Amino acid sequence: MKKKIVVVGGGFAGLQLIHNLKNDVFDILLIDQLNHHQFQPLFYQVATSQIEPSSISFPFRKIFQKRKDVRIRLAEVISVDPLSKSLHTSIGDFVFDYLVIATGCKTNFYDNEELRKNAYSLKTTHQAIQIRNAIIETFEKILYVEEQEKESLFNIVIVGGGPTGVELSGAFAEIKRDVLPKDYPRIDFSRLQIILLEGSSHTLNSMSAMAQQASMRYLEGLGVILKTGVIVQSYDGKVVKLNSGEVIKSKNVIWAAGVTGNVLTGISEDLITCSNRYKVDRINRLKGHESIFAIGDIAYMETPDYPSGHPQVANVAIHQGKNLAKNIMALQFNKKLTDYEYRDLGSMATVGTNKAIVDLPFMKFKGYFAWYIWMFLHLMLILSVRNKLIIFINWAVNYFTKNSSLRLILKEEGK
């Protein structure tokens, strides 16, 4: 009988694992709480009405239509029982021979319940649509509310100066300049403030000094109000309080200041790090568990080159998925196992049109050329030719007309 592999999570890591497991060797079950894969790097473009959510979302059933050895279940995995090798989910229990946890991360509000309730986050396509709805509704409201209510609507606050915060702030600044005044000619957009708050002294902390300086200059050039060295202490849905004593009135606060792993209960706390990642060995196996693996953002692997774990980025997730597939095949056929080794291909971020930064291990550059590279590589990573084309057409329309037609409020009636 074929061995049962259960994969929890169809993100970058889970998908690559399944794609790289040879057809018809195992009985594979993919369980995800969503029915589709999400391309997270472009969430910010959905939130700012530049592309459609469907072009960065890919149904699992379509992806695996030709794989008869892959079954799919739409369910939330709640807990694991390593002894009986079973999983408890929202639709019932499943047994496994091998379990691969690829559940990624969620937004970290650092136990601040008030923040979690009142701020927006950007970890799912649904949340990107929520931000898009809220921002467009804000301008509809500005047209009719009393003057004293307007200040909090005119301030859009983004917390966290990593790639997500920088990309969002730049995109908001561009639609403020190029797009929104066409839709709302009666609104004075000089009053609209895009405020980016960052705790350290720089944006893009994980990138080079050149990238940090360039991103700050680009943001300032676009009119983003950048406040570094500030920590948000509270946000009650109306006012952001900073550690400096400053308060900012805002109805729209987007929290992009950290992530924490989606851990499953049932696995010993000793195997979970402080950032909620599973400690794994060099083949992504949970320490002390022969048949349980973790890959991608949820995995924490120490290596001589990365003594504090790998960065939580798509490249690591993709290659850990591929490497584990190779190792599971090797286990099956009694072959030699291969340790995972991260090849840092560099990183990049974009702040706006013609404004991107590329950090390669051997060179660093910014501007037009970096922006073209950024677009090209993101298009290459998008699944399906149709989606690549749709995104490319949307980008071209935005570039030449600065007037896309995607500014839709789509939500449940009455909400």
Ligand X SMILES: Cc1cc2nc3c(=O)[nH]c(=O)nc-3n(C[C@H](O)[C@H](O)[C@H](O)COP(=O)(O)OP(=O)(O)OC[C@H]3O[C@@H](n4cnc5c(N)ncnc54)[C@H](O)[C@@H]3O)c2cc1C
Q: Kindly list the residues in this chain that would bind ligand X in the complex (CB under 6 A).
A: 8-14, 31-34, 40-41, 43-44, 76-77, 102-104, 122-123, 163-164, 262, 296-298, 312-315, 317
CB of 350 to ligand X, least distance (A): 9
**Considering beta carbons, is residue 13 or 142 the nearer one to ligand X?**
13
Look at the chain and count its residues: 415
**Considering beta carbons, is residue 32 or 174 the nearer one to ligand X?**
32
**Considering beta carbons, is residue 153 or 259 the nearer one to ligand X?**
259
Give me 225's structure tokens: 């109000």
| C-alpha torsion 137→163→261→158, nearest 10 | -40
CB of 128 to ligand X, least distance (A): 8
**Considering beta carbons, is residue 98 or 154 the nearer one to ligand X?**
98
The residue among 399, 396, 348 whose CA lies nearest residue 374 is 348
**Considering beta carbons, is residue 121 or 155 the nearer one to ligand X?**
121
Q: Shortest Cβ contact with ligand X: which residue?
A: 11
CB 293 within 8 A of CB 82: no
CB of 391 to ligand X, least distance (A): 14
Rg from Cα positions in the chain? 22
- In Å, what is the CA distance from 388 to each residue of 8, 24, 52, 354, 391? 27, 29, 12, 20, 5
CB of 190 to ligand X, least distance (A): 29
**Considering beta carbons, is residue 158 or 226 the nearer one to ligand X?**
158
CB 36 within 8 A of CB 124: no
**Considering beta carbons, is residue 26 or 300 the nearer one to ligand X?**
300
Taking the CB of residue 377, how many other CB atoms lie within 10 A of it? 13
The residue among 288, 266, 263, 264 whose CA lies nearest residue 277 is 263
Coil vs helix vs strand at 336: coil
CB of 170 to ligand X, least distance (A): 13
CB of 143 to ligand X, least distance (A): 30
* Neighbouring residues of 270: CB distance < 8 A, sequence distance ≥ 6: none
- In Å, what is the CA distance from 31 to each residue of 37, 95, 349, 360? 12, 12, 31, 35
Complete DSSP assignment for 283-333: TSBBTT-TTEEE-GGGEE---SS-TT----SHHHHHHHHHHHHHHHHHHHT
**Considering beta carbons, is residue 102 or 142 the nearer one to ligand X?**
102
CB of 12 to ligand X, least distance (A): 4
CA–CA dist 261, 341 (Å, integer): 21
CB of 294 to ligand X, least distance (A): 9
Phi, psi of 356 (to 5 degrees): -135, 165
The H or E element spanning position 370 is helix 368-381
**Considering beta carbons, is residue 90 or 403 the nearer one to ligand X?**
90
**Considering beta carbons, is residue 6 or 142 the nearer one to ligand X?**
6
CB of 59 to ligand X, least distance (A): 12
CB of 42 to ligand X, least distance (A): 8
**Considering beta carbons, is residue 205 or 233 the nearer one to ligand X?**
205
- In Å, what is the CA distance from 245 to each residue of 154, 160, 196, 241, 250? 21, 18, 17, 7, 16
CB of 359 to ligand X, least distance (A): 12
Give me 1's structure tokens: 């009988």
Q: Which residues pair with 247 in a beta bridge?
A: 241
* Neighbouring residues of 389: CB distance < 8 A, sequence distance ≥ 6: none
